[in-house]
A and B are shown apart, each in its own frame.
Chain A
């Protein structure tokens, strides 16, 4: 295992101008007017990424994840610290930022390739793959300004993933394109994983991290608050989201409800497939609140099995300890461990309390079906 990305004590400060004096006249007449404030976007971040690893970087807006990514790509210089990169890196930041709209798709492929550090000969070698992946053969000699936005993004993505990068950096670009193209992109990322390349995936979608990553890093306010297994990092990510939400909360409800434990009457979370389970969620509330109870069930590989709520009838919490009962009458799941997340959401849909991996259910199954759910299929010849 080779370390391909080594981030060493990176900090980045931005200067915020409260009054922008960018004209010479303004600067000469009012040299001291307008104040500048130093804003620390990243503080002392260190981590390593090995080859063969897919690492997710999670953080809500303004957490510094894009800044970190730009530093890694070399678009931004860090204020202090350094990043050591081994092998070539392709970034899917803003796709097509390097395109010249006046030039044809063909010319742009060569120009963009040169920007990503490829020689003309290298681009020629992969040119056909790029065009095939982008699915715009017909329009490759048309000026890019006549492209639809979808064609534009597809061509840019095709160049970036075909340059044979050792490190691929993906920044929320998977949100673009139609569903079929998105699936194609995810597919390409999986191929990269199988080929042992490193991928850095920046997102605020927990589901994507669960589905693709081996490890996750969580940023909050420019600080690295987690760097570890996906489940653990996601838990910390959710908690930080809650804390931030609490700061914005005028009623103060979020700070006042805590989910203490999840228990079963028997104390065991083992269940036979097809039978039911009842568990109690124990909460402490510091006031009277009403909200919607929510529960999520995940497989260990991060697939959402089910999300359910109290179906419109709110739970009313009284000050002090409370208990909410959850009855799963019949679990049609197959063998495996399933994680339960529980939480309370107010009527606007914002989370008041949340507990990631509050319990884990062990399901045992001795039938013949494979997968995660028992459909009870019966096969007859007619």
Chain B
């Protein structure tokens, strides 16, 4: 790099260089533009986070599979073998819901403390702070993709195929899941700066949230009628992750009515018998809501970020 030539280029380019403004509050459009312009930082952070996590371990990223595999095994043992819920291929049913839940839980768990943990960075280097939370979500997406791959292998081993007719809804559902996860992660990362207890509270809340979502049990089979009788179905569906989980189960578990493996072999209505258009409209309207929530989350983050320096 010759100094003389770089200096020449340097002087010429400065007059029409873009002007950056640092002010008390950036509007939403500026925030989104800043985020977009730093997308390379986001990818670097995602992969450096993953690399750091498994840096000195021999099995590396396979550890990210161990915990979900164990969860899957335990739930399968408890609900299918011990308490005999009678769902055929229960492991597949569990797996289709767990990929969704794991991504959400992973991202939120990691992101909740991320700004507090990286205080040194936040106080010294300038970049859009929400990128730290988004990098955690990105890492969770990577694990999600790996688990999805394992899910596909699992289906091949069982000789099952997905609901091909529904599979085009999967991207919509995934983007919805991403926006939901990112919104919660962004808000929690900022709130934890002010209320350090959030990290512990969130662990408890996530457990509760898990059991409010139809991952290990079937919404349709176990509680749909009871909720309907009390007119509380809408309340159950306030949980935005539920429609996403049901969509994934519909796509990967496929069957809505199955023959129970228990004595007498009664028919089980395991998944809602909604039509394709019902699934489409449910997912697309949820996506619209999540876009709004994501923008609200960014706005809230912007409000909270102003005082990070004095709180960290």
Give A residues with C-beta under 8 Å from B. Answer: 2, 4, 14-16, 22-25, 27, 51, 70-88, 91, 93-94, 97-98, 100, 102-103, 107, 110-111, 114-120, 126, 129, 143, 164, 166, 191, 194-197
One of B196-204, B210-218, B288-296 contacting the partner: B196-204
Q: A25–B25 contact, CB under 8 A?
A: no
Q: A98–B124 contact, CB under 8 A?
A: yes
Q: A85–B20 contact, CB under 8 A?
A: yes
Q: A75–B51 contact, CB under 8 A?
A: no
Q: A100–B41 contact, CB under 8 A?
A: no
Which residues of chain B from 298 to 312 have any CB-CB distance to chain A below 8 Å in the complex?
A: 305-307, 309-311
Which residues from chain B contact A97 at a C-beta distance below 8 Å? 120-121, 123-125
Q: A25–B19 contact, CB under 8 A?
A: no
Q: B195–A196 contact, CB under 8 A?
A: no
- Interface membership of B3, Cβ < 8 A: yes
Known: A78-B24, A84-B21, A98-B125. A194 touches B310 (CB 8 A): no
A interface footprint on B1-25 (CB within 8 Å = 1, 0 otherwise): 1010011001101110111111111
Q: A82–B52 contact, CB under 8 A?
A: no
Q: B20–A84 contact, CB under 8 A?
A: yes
A114 to B48, CA, bound (A): 12
Q: A15–B310 contact, CB under 8 A?
A: yes
A85 to B14, CA, bound (A): 11
Min CB gap A23→B, angstroms: 5
Q: List 19 A-B contacts (CB under 8 A).
A: A14-B309, A24-B195, A24-B201, A70-B309, A74-B22, A75-B125, A77-B306, A83-B21, A83-B23, A84-B19, A84-B20, A100-B52, A102-B52, A111-B45, A115-B127, A119-B40, A164-B6, A164-B10, A197-B10
Closest A residue to B9 by CB, please name it: A164
Q: A91–B126 contact, CB under 8 A?
A: yes
Known: A86-B17, A97-B125, A98-B125. A196 touches B7 (CB 8 A): yes
Q: Which residue in A71, A88, A119, A194 is a CB contact (below 8 Å) of B22?
A: A71
Which one of B19, B25, B305 has the greatest number of beta carbons of chain A within 10 Å? B19
Which one of A4, A87, A116 has the greatest number of beta carbons of chain B within 10 Å? A87
Q: A107–B48 contact, CB under 8 A?
A: yes
A interface footprint on B59-80 (CB within 8 Å = 1, 0 otherwise): 0000000000000000000000
A295 to B40, CA, bound (A): 56
11 additional contacts, CB 8 Å, given A15-B307, A97-B125?
Answer: A2-B14, A14-B309, A22-B311, A51-B11, A70-B309, A82-B23, A91-B126, A98-B124, A117-B38, A195-B6, A196-B11
Known: A2-B15, A14-B310. A115 touches B125 (CB 8 A): yes
A15 to B312, CA, bound (A): 12
Which residues from chain A contact B10 at a C-beta distance below 8 Å? 164, 166, 195-197
